[in-house]
Amino acid sequence: MMDTQLVLNGFVKRVETYFPHKEIVSRTSADKIHRLTYKDFATRTRKLASALEKIGMTKGMKVGSFAWNQHRHLEAYFAVPCTGAVLHMINIRLADEHLEYIINHAQDEILLVDIDLFETIERILPKLTTVKQIVVMSDSDDLPESQFSALYSYEKLLAEAPDDYQFPTDLDENLPAAMCYTSATTGFPKGVVYTHRGLVLHAINLGLVDSFGLSERSVALPVVPMFHVNAWGIPFASVNFGAKLVLPGPNFTSHTLIDLIEEERVTFTAGVPTIWMGVLQELEKTPRDMSSLEMVAAGGSASPPALIQKFTHKFGIPYKTVYGMTETSPIVSVAALTSEMDDWSEEEKIAALSTQGLTVPLIETEIINEDGEVPADGQTMGELRIRGPWISSEYYNDERTIDAYRDGWLYTGDIAVRTPQGNIKITDRTKDLIKSGGEWISSVDLENALMAHDAVFEAAVIAIPHIKWQERPLACVVLQEGYDTSVKEELKTFLATQVAKWWMPDDIVFVREIPKTSVGKFLKAKLRDDMKDYQLTP
């Protein structure tokens, strides 16, 4: 066979050759929609590469992006890796201290910054030790006021760049192409480096019928931020398959997303469950035309069955749970209804769609406890471990690598069971499991059960120290509008019909909101800290 390297460069060539007229639709501000053809995207991407090389970008250099989901960010997704440099997608929601750490730790030398986010970078500039140039992304050539002198306008750089730049054709598939940092339970975020080969194989996987099914006919709206795990690979896959891309831009709301889905006839969208809860609330108030949607992918945290049920049945929108991590590029598994489930009851189907799903081709997963791999009984819990060609093998320059990478596997820290159909079902994080009298209680199962009640908007269950049982569960509930704390006894009765008696939370407390990470996951460490003075009635 030919020694063809699996590099992202081929994606750009493919889209401009076969799908030059297809569109990238970017919402660049609250009232502006920008449209770009793939032909112009390819031209601009090459010009960006040329311009960045002119201001100093070299092979292997880290180039940080600090940006929303918009077309310039997409251009950087290809311009940087296709020259052999590495795009570091910086999470714009991190605290200053963490931003400083990751930019310095990655050794970013150039930053590409959305103009409305520039203030944050300006604020931390004195602490950045490696950044030499900053390129400001904006519709105009105007630059913001800054203490920093090596400031460039993205559009001005492109206007001055030559038309005839060509990407190198000799990149090795194992070259680093991109990197992201993931929040750690303790300490600074940990970096994960993605290679061309990993990203290419991951992107191809998103075109499989049983995965995301992205194709030329797709209209893909990645709600998941482009600063978060390659926006789940959707930008790479869409370019490769010639799918129309819809990028939601800065500070969107549920209303914005619904508008985009309706107006651009979106067929595929992906994001965390919290997003879909908001969209659902909006749709329940004001029905809209969502008929173009063929798949809503939800991941990052578990989707409550009640949410899946409403999307699937009330709105007729297929809703699939997916699973992955920053360490896994990210897609590891996708929940779908296989042919053997055709004669299952609706309730059983929703239960199957609530799992993290079937492991995708080329990836291997195992659920391990002290007895080895757990049986596929849907009951026996163990830790999920993963290996495959788009699974990282280390944290970037980080001693914490040994905590997660052993024996050729990534140990996820997620506690899971394997269903008889082979689906992964996450029952908890290792550190969030409730250990009561030597047995494990799954906080996620309790949360899902609670969230099925109309009065509950969100629920998080945490462990509270207990003198006799070591730990007992405490449920923290955010109420839907229109309900008050008098619903407490009703919730207890509701829960009692669904879970074992010894799993019942010792109490339910009502809170304003559940603390969340920058990517919308429950921040249980914070919640445990908030509740540290709570005393269980003995």
Of 194 and 227, which CB lies nearer to a second copy in the complex structure? 194
Residue that is written with structure tokens 């960006």 in the block = 48
Query: How far apart are the C-alpha atoms of 538 and 519, rounded to whole Å?
Result: 36
Point out the catalytic residue in the list 256, 440, 488, 521. Answer: 440
Task: Give the CA angle between residues 213, 214, 216 to the nearest 5°.
Answer: 130
Helix axis angle for 38-54 and 71-79, nearest 10°, is 60
CB of 5 to a second copy, least distance (A): 8
Q: Which H or E run contains 282?
A: helix 273-285
Of 13 and 32, which CB lies nearer to a second copy in the complex structure? 13
Is 390 in the active site? no
Query: How far apart are the C-alpha atoms of 465 and 405, rounded to whole Å?
Result: 30
CB of 197 to a second copy, least distance (A): 7
Query: How far apart are the C-alpha atoms of 277 and 385, rounded to whole Å?
Result: 29
What distance lies between CA 462 and its chain's CA centroid?
A: 23
Q: How many CB atoms lie within 10 A of CB 346?
A: 10
Helix axis angle for 9-18 and 38-54, nearest 10°, is 140
CB of 301 to a second copy, least distance (A): 24
What distance lies between CA 271 and its chain's CA centroid?
A: 7
Is 285 in the active site? no
CB of 216 to a second copy, least distance (A): 5
The residues, any chain, with a CB within 8 Å of residue 20's CB and separated by 6 or more, are 37, 38, 39, 42
Of 364 and 454, which CB lies nearer to a second copy in the complex structure? 364
Report yes or no: 112 and 65 within 8 Å, Cβ to Cβ.
yes
Token pair belonging to 212:
């995301």
Point out the catalytic residue in the list 75, 327, 447, 458. Answer: 327
Is 364 in the active site? no
Of 4 and 166, which CB lies nearer to a second copy in the complex structure? 4
CB of 112 to a second copy, least distance (A): 24
CB of 4 to a second copy, least distance (A): 4
**Pick from 470, 521, 527: nearest CA to 91:** 521
CB of 273 to a second copy, least distance (A): 25
Give me the residues that bind a second copy (CB under 8 A), please.
1-4, 6, 10, 13-14, 17-18, 21-22, 174, 193-195, 197-198, 200, 204-205, 207-210, 213-217, 240-242, 336, 338-340, 358-359, 361-362, 364, 387-393, 408, 410, 421-422
Query: How far apart are the C-alpha atoms of 440 and 433, rounded to whole Å?
Result: 7
Point out the catalytic residue in the list 120, 182, 267, 412. Answer: 182
**DSSP secondary structure of 310-335:** IIIIIS---EEEEEE-GGGSSEEEE-
Point out the catalytic residue in the list 253, 435, 490, 526. Answer: 435
Cross-strand pairs, 434: 441
Of 298 and 367, which CB lies nearer to a second copy in the complex structure? 367
Token pair belonging to 340:
């053997």
Of 202 and 429, which CB lies nearer to a second copy in the complex structure? 202
Is 276 in the active site? no
Cross-strand pairs, 476: 460, 509
Of 204 and 446, which CB lies nearer to a second copy in the complex structure? 204
Which residues are designated catalytic?
182, 327, 435, 440
